[in-house]
Structure 1
Amino acid sequence: MTNKYRDLSILPVSHENWLVIACDSSAGIGEKAEDAVRIDPAVTAAFCLRVPLMELICYGATPIAVIDLIGNEKEPTGDQMLKGIKAELTRAELSTISLNGSTEENMPTKTSSVGITVIAEITAGKENFVLQEACSLLQLGEPYVGEMVVKNQHTIFSYPLVKTLRQEVGVLDMLPVGSKGIRYEAQLMTENSDFQVEFLTEEDLDCSAGPATVILLAVRPEEEADILARYTDLKKIGEFKKR
């Protein structure tokens, strides 16, 4: 039986292991005639892969396979996208992971399109997070979408930083932000709990963060000052308080 948690599908496969599945898609971003944003298709595919990888890392699952569905011809667009996917896997320290996929060889296309599914595994029995204590809400990164992603691609936070934050004792929950914005995802972090989020600012709360250019963290208040001091890319934007 498959369970849903946020944007993840969780599939128990044995008493020891569960599969965790995440996916994302991108269209109209590339070098085709009718693309809305002009950029190397390698970058398009890399950022498309980044989204499910970040979701899985924040959940604590280990990626084991990537499937790419490229809605364009193999040469040259598909090959460029595969180059970007492989480069992103290297950045995520996953260069040996299983990679499979398909391209569109039957029909000519005028826009770039790619969908990516990542399969991960985790030890059976992991409990999905439910907020049970007052916490600080911290933000990593800035909300970028479209041309802003292209402009700021070299300053967006790294996989090693996210993995390190995931191991911090004071970090209780982490959640990537996508097209629905910070406010939506922060409220999702309170799901099934007796807590609500109170923001310290209204700036950029409803902006799209495109390909996971923001990650939200729920941090114990007693650990907040230390974590903010050691990770200068973080900033406090709110608090989770009892309803």
Structure 2
Amino acid sequence: MILTQEYRDLSILPVSNEKWLVIACDSSAGIGKKKQDAVEIDPAITAAFCLRVPLMELFCYGAEPIAVIDLIGNEYEPTGERMILGISAELVKAGLADIPLNGSTEENMPTKTTSVGVTVIAEIKAGKENFQMNETCSLLQLGEPFVGEQVVKNRERIFSYPLVKALRAEPGVMDMLPVGSKGIQYEAQLMTKDSEFQIHFLEKDGLDCSAGPATVILLAVKTDQEADILSRYAELKKIGEFKKR
């Protein structure tokens, strides 16, 4: 019997003594080209950003994606076809063009809103310990909180996969966590779970805004390496500090 471990939004399956599987997923509805969609946009973009969320979660954790499954709640032509194109293009951007892509579309019922779910399966070296804060450190922010139509208007401003991977490889970066609909404050507090630390924000504005499809990533950075990292990554800004209660 495989005992699954839940960590934040990830499911971790220790399938062997060498590697573990890590699973992340996301869904999107009401964003597309159908009659009752709340936001009108090319379904290819909808699906691409739906994929982006679990990819960011996995990259921030340090896991390497090995397969993607899309569950499209619409017909293949034209909606599903556009979504698959968007997912495939996003995999290229993430450097994952060659990993398997499988899925399903809805061919039995007519649909009036756009809907898609994406699951990404990744792997990581067995024995990885989940992050627990144990020292004073700085909170840095990558990106800005965008949602809905703002995501489309600001696509060129949203950070890239190579940048996220580079930051994850920095020795001074202790933890990274994408921000979604619950906002910066919620995710920053999640970073302190089961520890003696609490977050002190430099400013109070915008902490509860939705960051939609992971348009913000929070970084816990060692205090003595904060200045160096900020000097080399102009995309980052300091928004708080983690200190003992």
With normalisation by structure 2, the TM-score equals: 0.99
2:60 pairs, out of 38, 58, 61, with 58
Runs (5+) with no aligned partner, structure 1:
none
**Residue 213 (structure 1) aligned with residue 215 (structure 2):** yes
1:73 pairs, out of 68, 72, 75, with 75
In the alignment, what sits opposite 1:48? Answer: 50
Deviation for aligned residue 1:155: 1.3
Structural mapping, 1:39-188, within 5 Å: 39-188=41-190
**Partners of 1:179 and 1:90 in 2: how far apart?**
26
Q: Matched residue of 2:26: which SS? A: strand
Deviation for aligned residue 1:203: 1.6
Write out per-residue CA displacement over residues 63-108 of structure 1, whole angstroms, 9 at most, x where no aligned residue. Answer: 0000000000000000000000000000000000110000000000
Write out per-residue CA displacement over residues 141-196 of structure 1, whole angstroms, 9 at most, x where no aligned residue. Answer: 00000010011012100000000000001100000000000000000000011100
- Count of matched residue positions in the alignment of Structure 1 and Structure 2: 243
Q: Matched residue of 1:154: which SS? A: helix
**Partners of 1:210 and 1:96 in 2: how far apart?**
27
Runs (5+) with no aligned partner, structure 2:
none
**Partners of 2:157 and 2:243 in 1: how far apart?**
32
With normalisation by structure 1, the TM-score equals: 0.99
CA RMSD of aligned residues (A): 0.4
In the alignment, what sits opposite 1:30? Answer: 32
**Partners of 2:183 and 2:243 in 1: how far apart?**
20
Q: Matched residue of 1:72: which SS? A: coil
Give identity over the alignment, percent. Answer: 77
Give the letter for the 1:98 counterpart: P
**Partners of 1:235 and 1:148 in 2: how far apart?**
21
Q: Matched residue of 2:96: which SS? A: coil
Q: Matched residue of 2:138: which SS? A: strand
**Partners of 1:187 and 1:43 in 2: how far apart?**
31
**Partners of 1:106 and 1:48 in 2: how far apart?**
23
Write out per-residue CA displacement over residues 6-60 of structure 1, whole angstroms, 9 at most, x where no aligned residue. Answer: 0000001011111000000000000001100000000000000000000000000
**Partners of 2:155 and 2:112 in 1: how far apart?**
25
**Partners of 1:43 and 1:81 in 2: how far apart?**
7
